[in-house]
Amino acid sequence: MSTSELASKTEQLKLSENLVYVDEAAGSDESGHGTKEAPYKTALAAVTLVANMPEEKQETFKIMVKKADSDDYAEITASALKKAKNAHKIAEKKAKKQAEQAAKDQAQQQAKQLEEQRKLEESKQIKLTLDESLPEPKLIRIKDATECRGQRVKVFGWVNRLRVQGKDMMFIVLRDGTGYLQCVLTNRLCHTYDALTLTLDSTVVLYGTVDKLPEGKTAPGGHELTVDYWEVVGKAPGGDDAITNKVNAESDPSIQYQQRHLVIRGDTASAVLKVRSRVMRAFRDHFDSAGYFEVTPPCMVQTQVEGGSTLFSFNYYGEQAYLTQSSQLYLETCLPSMGAVYTMAESYRAEKSHTRRHLSEYTHCEAEIPFISFNDLLDCIENMVKDVVNRVWAEPETRAMIEQLNPGFKPYTEPFVRMRYEEAIKWLNDNGVKHEDGSDYVFGEDIPESPERAMTDKIGKPILLTHFPGPIKAFYMPATKEDPRVTESVDLLMPNVGEIVGGSMRIWDHDDLLAAYKREGLDTAPYYWYLDQRKYGTCPHGGFGLGVERFLAWLLKRFTVRECCLYPRFVDRCQP
């Protein structure tokens, strides 16, 4: 305790008694005052108090001790007093040593700060100049560095990592969105004010020669830039406002979502977004190679596809309208003029769900195909998934990112498991996957996410789950001829994610579709254009919708689909 605290406690003593009290059972060295009402717990605390009194008073005080097994106070024994005084002397020496060390550390810190300040002031006088005798640099992006080995180049980027080695060497790992480049700065290049105050995520321009690394050394791309000149383009803040203090891998998810614009600069988040770009291209390449045409349907609609409870509504010039749940109905209208079509567009679902596989806005890959059977549809879905995976896997750069994010991943070559809904119900019950109350699942009920994933993860293979009961599926799905209870419908289930595709054949008979509207209680007026497809040359057809974020969560083994889009939108999150 400090001298002022001791003085305060001394004032609180009943000096007329000249006694300091210690209660080994009920006392407290922290809150006690040494009085009978507020005794200390140890004799050391009492000795410390007395030792800080004026010398003329110290001899007049006695220390009274109540043992843990006693009801009365008795004067401290000579041996106990001697032990306490020795402990006090040791504590005093320790405190003195600590104070001396603290003063020494403070002096050293102040000296270090002064030296750093002196170096900073001196560094302001160091000015770098371009060496005009060197070859004119070639402006490149980092991905082009391999082709420019041995050449002098100029490259812009952000400081992704920074390491200072001694006083004459500094390493910068630069990123520019196309790759990473290790850059080596030596001597005067490390002594400037900008060098001494450089921070992560500052933007810089570096000039130098791209050199292949010698055997035994590693760096991105197998080379490094030996810098001969550099400048800061835009310096990022340091200290409390440094990017690593704003957000990092250990930050709470709510902070990571709020600072998503900074999170996406990280190695992992940027890799996910780069793979997403390649996956989107692969889907388009797949459909184009199969003869599909891409269309861009409206996202503002006045019809529903998946039920009214998940519609985002808004006022459209005095009329009620919605953000689309799916572009399926519009794709169907294109079949007579364009044949097989697809779209890569956003869909919106107002589901107040906090699961890791739900988003309020997501990228929807949808396709519609005329003149096919249900088995053809299943083949289309399986072939698409396999082909898209094979396309991105064949790109070395994309494959490297997939292996970085999902080590051990291999494309599926075996046929997907095909299982009927009724078989899934039996599998759940046979394998002990029950309701929370222990009851079995029964035919006709929707299989929730948790048991569905449990089954998929246990089987460990993609499952085309088919023939769902009509009451739990959308109005436009036709019943099968062999069993009117079930529909020609399918969900593709993937390990670790669950459903990533939903599809079906579509009701193509005009009267059957009218009956479906009536059964669902839907007004047919807003759907006049959809009904016309069954009136003017109808045909058997089917289609499906794939959630791109779910596909990526499976491919890249991400915990949640929220990691698989740029700025996720979900319940209570519409920023940034």
Residues ≥6 apart with Cβ < 8 Å to 91: 44, 48
Q: Give the separation between CA 267 and CA 98, rounded to whole angstroms.
A: 44
Q: Which of 10, 8, 42, 51 has the alpha carbon at shortest distance from 24?
A: 42
Residue among 555, 439, 425 at smallest CA distance from 494: 555
Taking CB atoms within 8 Å and a gap of at least 24, the contacts of 56-63 are 60/18, 61/18, 61/19, 61/20, 62/18, 62/19, 62/20, 63/19, 63/20, 63/22
Q: How far is CA 375 from CA 287, 336, 412, 498, in A?
A: 19, 22, 20, 21
State the pLDDT at residue 116: 80
Contact 419, 461 (CB under 8 A): no
Cα-to-chain-centroid distance, residue 107: 43
Hey, what amino acid is at 525? Answer: A
Residues 489 and 485: their CA atoms lie apart, in Å, by 12
**How many whole angstroms separate alpha carbon 342 and alpha carbon 365?**
7
pTM of the model as a whole: 0.80
Helices (H), 326-373: 328-338
Give backbone dihedrals phi and psi of 319, rounded to 5 degrees, phi first.
-110, 150
Do you know the residue count of the chain?
576
Residues 6 or more apart in contact with residue 567 via CB below 8 angstroms: 260, 576
Distance CA 365, CA 284 (A): 9
The H or E element spanning position 131 is: none
Tens-level pLDDT at each residue, the chain (576 residues) = 555 555 555 544 444 468 899 898 888 988 888 888 899 988 888 888 888 888 777 777 888 888 888 888 888 888 888 888 888 888 888 888 998 898 898 888 888 888 888 888 888 889 999 999 999 999 999 999 999 999 999 999 999 999 999 889 999 999 999 999 999 999 999 999 999 999 999 999 999 999 999 888 899 999 999 999 999 999 999 988 999 988 888 888 889 989 999 999 999 999 999 999 999 999 999 999 999 999 999 999 988 876 666 889 999 999 999 999 999 999 999 999 999 999 999 999 988 888 888 899 999 999 999 999 999 999 999 999 999 999 999 999 999 999 999 999 999 999 999 999 999 999 999 998 988 888 999 999 999 888 999 999 999 999 999 999 999 898 899 999 999 999 999 999 999 899 999 999 999 999 999 998 898 888 888 889 999 999 999 999 999 999 999 999 999 999 999 999 999 999 988 888
How far apart are the C-alpha atoms of 247 and 504, rounded to whole Å? 44
Cα(357)–Cα(497) distance, rounded to whole angstroms? 7
Q: Which long-range contacts (CB under 8 A, 24 or more apart) does 66-69 make?
A: 66/21, 66/22, 66/23, 66/24, 66/25, 66/39, 67/24, 67/25, 68/24, 68/25
H or E segment at 574? none
In the block, tokens 């302001």 appear at: 124
Backbone angles phi, psi at 122, to 5 degrees: -65, -35
| 557 φψ region: left (φ > 0), alpha (ψ -120 to 50), beta (else) | left
Please give the Cα distance from 147 to 515 (Å, whole number).
66
CA atoms within a 13 Å half-sphere pointing along the CA-CB vector of 404:
14
pLDDT score, position 57? 78
Residue 513 burial class via C-beta count within 10 angstroms: exposed 0-12, middle 13-18, buried 19 and up: buried
Q: Would the CA dihedral through 159, 165, 167, 168 be positive or negative?
A: negative
Respond yes or no on whether the N-terminal peptide bond of residue 576 is cis (omega within 30° of 0).
yes
Q: Which amino acid is at 503?
A: G
Contact between 291 and 339 (Cβ < 8 Å): yes
Quick one: which of 422, 434, 539, 550 has its CA closest to 489? 422
d(CA 249, CA 257): 12
Which token pair is 247?
A: 């957000």
Q: In the block, which residue shows the tokens 């309208």? A: 321
